[in-house]
């Protein structure tokens, strides 16, 4: 098996597995999937609304070792960043960090998509909350 040590580490000791209340207004949830392998990945961020900083991140992935490692690493990268910094995370950073082979690059793309989906969900929630306060 050609998994790198870093993939194996994240696969055997995944960081931040779990879930948060998706109805919490400070939580953004991203659910994405890769039909070519049947993977499904849920990634959540909890944002401090005053600072815009991601204070916690959780994930749960059903898929191959690289998909689990990619999402585990993504949650580690997210903590402490602002939501806008989070949006600039590229899948290539995950590829490099985990030394993913070409056939597994789509797993890192899935993790990037999950980050974007979670941040977008948070932003939509906070926008509708602002509108509600105004109205």
Partner 1 sequence: MTQAPPREYFEFFGLAPALSLDAADLQKRFYELSRKWHPDRFSARPPEEQQIALDATATLNDAYRTLRDPVRRAEYVLTRNGFPIGEQRTKDVPPELLEEVFELNMALEELRSGDSGVRPQLESAREHFLSLRAAVDGELEELFRSHDSGGGETVLSAIRGVLNRRRYIENLVREVEKALGARATA
Residues near partner 1, by CB under 8 A: 31-38, 40, 42, 60, 62, 109-110, 113, 117
What is residue 129's DSSP assignment?
Answer: H
CB nearer to partner 1: pick between 31 and 53? 31
- One of 47, 107, 117, 119 is an active-site residue; which one? 107
Cα distances from 63 to residues 5, 67, 121, in angstroms, run 18, 6, 23
The torsion angle over the Cα atoms of residues 75, 65, 19 and 57, rounded to 10 degrees, is 0
Q: Least separation, in Å, of the C-beta of 56 and partner 1?
A: 20
State in angstroms the smallest separation of the CB of 3 from partner 1.
20
Q: Which of 20, 34, 37, 40 is catalytic?
A: 37
Degrees, nearest 5: CA angle 33-57-47: 115
Provide the minimum distance between the beta carbon of 123 and partner 1 in the complex, in angstroms, as a whole number. Answer: 17
């Amino acid at each position: 098996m050609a998994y790198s040590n870093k993939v194996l580490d994240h696969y055997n000791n995944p960081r931040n597995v779990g879930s948060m209340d998706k109805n919490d207004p400070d939580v953004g949830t991203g659910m994405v999937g890769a039909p070519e392998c049947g993977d499904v990945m849920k990634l959540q961020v909890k944002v401090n609304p005053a600072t815009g900083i991601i204070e916690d991140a959780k994930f749960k992935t059903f898929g191959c070792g690289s998909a689990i490692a990619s999402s585990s690493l993504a949650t580690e990268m997210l903590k402490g960043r602002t939501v806008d910094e989070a949006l600039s995370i590229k899948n290539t950073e995950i590829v490099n960090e985990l030394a993913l082979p070409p056939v597994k690059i789509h797993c890192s793309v899935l993790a990037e998509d999950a980050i974007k989906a979670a941040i977008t969900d948070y932003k939509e929630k906070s926008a509708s909350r602002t509108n509600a306060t105004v109205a």
